[in-house]
Each structure stands twice: as structure tokens, then as C-alpha cells.
Structure 1
Amino acid sequence: MAVRRRRQDRRNAALGSGALALVLLVAFWSQVWPYLAGLAVLSGLGAAAWWLWRSDRLIRAGDRRWRGEDAVRAGHRSLADVDAMSWQEFERYVAGLCRRDGCTDVVVSGKSGDLGADVVATLPDGRRLVVQCKHYAPHRYVPSGDMQKFVGTAWLHHRADVAVFAATCPFSRAALDLAVQQGVLAVHRDLLGVWNTGTPLQAMLPLNGMGQGDRAHRRRWRNTYRA
């Protein structure tokens, strides 16, 4: 009985306090309503800020998941699959690698007469990226003439901060030397395979001019793909 009486007393006290608070609220409404309105506004702003923060977290998590899945798909794509692409598909493929590496504003020209700018994008650090794509048979070489044309347009016409020449074959020695001299990243077939399997473009910049092997390696390469 004593326990039941104490519970009843607590309920009565709570009801009394609530009634007193209601009476005071009505009596002093004109003085307290601005504070209550401000509290309601602050609560609404807090809820909106939390919702925006939560939405941003979900969007960022979805973007990271998409990039991870795309990297896995790219890693499973072989260079034989790349060889089977059309030149338009190869340009879109290169654009996809740029997006995977965090580039924004990625645009694919998809047409001739683009003056070497097959793919244009903005690197994560804000620099302007211009990419020339050549989908040649793997036993061929990119000639120096192709590199000369790209060098002449990438810096002057397209105002590139970073210029990349991506090809499905090796570069001739003259073309590769010119790329190194002019600061163009020559993504030959070996580097394309590295890029394809997840190495970001920015990490390949110091590798410019390397990776094609010696003369014997290149001869074996030609014989392999001509067979």
C-alpha cells in the first residue's frame, strides 16, 4: 500500500507541476512567446542542418562505392577488350578512367577536327587536363608527327595544364622523346595497362618516358601482336 501511495503522490505532483506551468505560460504568454518562437526556429534549423549533413554523408558514401566498383570493373577489363573497342568507345573509356581518378567536368569530343582534345577535364587539384586518344593496332607505333601535332595544340590552343597522349600501342622513340621534352605524358600500351588496373593518372606523371623496354622487348612485342 505504501508503494502504491508513493506512486500516486508522484503522479499528483507531476500533474500539479504541469498545471502550474500551463497557468504560468498562459499568464505570461506575451512575454515568453518570442523566446519559444526562437527556440522553435533554432530547432528547425538544427534539424535541417542535420538532414543536409546526413544527405551529404550518404551521397559521398555512394560516390566512393561507385568509384570502388568502377575500379574493380576496370581492373577486370583486359587490354584485349580495349583493343576490341572502336575509337569512339576508346575515348569514352579514357574519359571513364579520368572520372574514376576524381576528374570533374569531363567532356568527350567524339568527333574529328577537335585539334587533339579528345577528352577535356578538370583534375582534382583544379588543373585543366587535355587528352589525345589514339586507338591503333597494338603492333603499330605512334609516330612523331602525331605527337608534334598534339604538342602544337595542347599548350597553345587548348591552354592545357596537363597534357596526356593515350594510345593502345607503343610510341616511336622520336615521339616518346618529344613527349618528355614538351612535358606531355605519353601513356603507351604498358602504362595504359597500369592505368586500367587502378593506378591513378596523377601517380603516372613521374613515369613519363619509361616502361617501353629495350629494342629486343619491342621486337618481341611486334612479333606477338602481328602473329
Structure 2
Amino acid sequence: MAGGTALLLVAAFWSLIWPYLAAAAALGLVGGAGWWLWRTDRLVRTRDRAWRTAEALDAGRRTLAEVDAMSGTEFEELVADLCRRDGCTEVRRVGGSHDNGADVVGRLPDGRSMVVQCKRYAPTRTIASRELRDLLGAQVHFRAQVAIFVATTRFSRPSETFAAQHGILAVHRDHFGLWNNGTPLHSLTPLNGRGQGDTAHRARWRDTYGK
């Protein structure tokens, strides 16, 4: 009886009721679509974070022998991944034929802008000071606050001195090995190119890599 009365009332006042029913249905559809978009966005973001975490962890799993076998572009991508792993933001590879002396740019975790030059040289080669001068030009071009030179070999004495004089963070092979194995980039800043050893150490270096 009550159900029949309700139906009669709905029929009698349908012209007044149906706009509200239509609005409620539309709101339900919009709400459902919004929830689906929100859920999809969360899933995508979660998968993206997982992918980036996996990539960052993988960045420190390469041996120096594997790094030596990389192309220049692959090495630049590795350096960019290591920067991201350590909390750097806006990191992108810019190396190429018209790179203005830079290979990677971005921001350090403290917000300072950085420019990075990457040299995947054979261990028998030495970084000359003129290559660090090119990095200074890139620092000016990109208006970067910090300049970093990452190499798979050692720096010459003049280039090591030049880096210290001009505030360039010089990451030589030994320090790159530490960075690649998980040491944060900021921990290398106080060392700034030091640790390449004395004459005896350099002789052992030549004996190891010079063959």
C-alpha cells in the first residue's frame, strides 16, 4: 500500500522531481569518473616511484669494468641516475654536439643549480686543466652555482689545483667508484679531487692500468 502510494506521488509530481533525479545521477557519474581518475593517477604515480627507485638502485650496481665499457652517452646517463639517487632534482642529460661544455644539469638537494661534465676516459688517460676550463665556460653559460667534473680516470696535478682554485668538484676514478657504490655525492665535496695519492700511488696506477 505504501509502495503504491509512493509511486502515485512520483507520477503526480514527476515534472518537479525528474530534474533533481537527473542532477543526482549526473553528480554520481561525475563523482565516479573523478574517483576512477584519482585512483588511476595514484596507481601511475606509485608505479612511477617504484620504477624510479629501481632505476636509482640499479645505478649503483655497475662495476668500474662495466662503466669502462660504456659509451659516453651511457656514462652520462649513469651520472644523471646517480644524481637522482642522491636527491638531486630537475636532472637532465644535455650532452651532445652543441652541449656548450655540459653533459648533465640539475639542482642539488639544497636547491643550488649544478652543471656536470662527464668524461668516460680510459684509466690510462689524464684529465688536463684545459678541460676544466671548458667546464667553467659551461657554468657561466648555464648560470649554474656549482660545477662538477666526473671522470673515470685521474686528474693531472695542474688540473687538480685548478679545480680547487675555482671551486670545481673534481670526482676522479677512485671517488667515482665510491659514489657508484652508494656514497652520497655531498660526501665527496670536502675531498674535492684529493686522494689521488703520492708518487708511489701514481706508479702503481700506471702499473695497473698502463698495460
> Structure 2 length normalisation: TM-score?
0.78
SS at match of 1:75: coil
User: C-alpha offsets along residues 154-180 of structure 1, whole Å, 9 cap, x if unaligned?
Assistant: 232222243221111122343234334
Separation in 1, partners of 2:35, 2:79: 38
Number of the residue aligned with 2:195: 212
After TM superposition, list the pairs within 5 Å mapping 1:26-175 onto structure 2.
26-98=11-83, 103-104=89-90, 106-111=92-97, 113-121=98-106, 128-151=113-136, 153-175=137-159
Residue 145 of structure 1 aligns to which amino acid in structure 2? R
SS at match of 1:133: strand
Q: Percent identity?
A: 53
Q: What do you get for the CA RMSD once the two structures are aligned?
A: 3.1
Which residues of structure 1 form unaligned runs of 5+?
1-15
Structure with max Cα Rg: 1
Number of the residue aligned with 1:187: 171
Separation in 1, partners of 2:146, 2:7: 70
Residue 31 of structure 1 aligns to which amino acid in structure 2? L
**Bigger helix share:** 1
Judged with a 3 Å threshold, the aligned counterparts in structure 2 of structure 1 residues 51 and 143 are, in CA distance, closer, same or farther, namely: same
**Contact 1:134-1:166 at 8 Å conserved across structures:** yes
**Contact 1:180-1:208 at 8 Å conserved across structures:** no
* Deviates further, 62-71 or 29-38: 29-38
Could you tell me how far 1:58 is from its partner in structure 2? Answer: 1.3
Judged with a 3 Å threshold, the aligned counterparts in structure 2 of structure 1 residues 25 and 148 are, in CA distance, closer, same or farther, namely: same
Which residues of structure 2 form unaligned runs of 5+?
none
Could you tell me how far 1:80 is from its partner in structure 2? Answer: 0.6
**Is the counterpart of residue 222 in structure 1 residue 191 in structure 2?**
no
Separation in 1, partners of 2:151, 2:108: 20
> Structure 1 length normalisation: TM-score?
0.73
**Contact 1:136-1:167 at 8 Å conserved across structures:** yes
Residue 165 of structure 1 aligns to which amino acid in structure 2? F
SS at match of 1:137: coil
Judged with a 3 Å threshold, the aligned counterparts in structure 2 of structure 1 residues 208 and 62 are, in CA distance, closer, same or farther, namely: farther
Judged with a 3 Å threshold, the aligned counterparts in structure 2 of structure 1 residues 92 and 27 are, in CA distance, closer, same or farther, namely: same
**Contact 2:128-2:155 at 8 Å conserved across structures:** yes
Could you tell me how far 1:191 is from its partner in structure 2? Answer: 2.8
SS at match of 1:164: strand
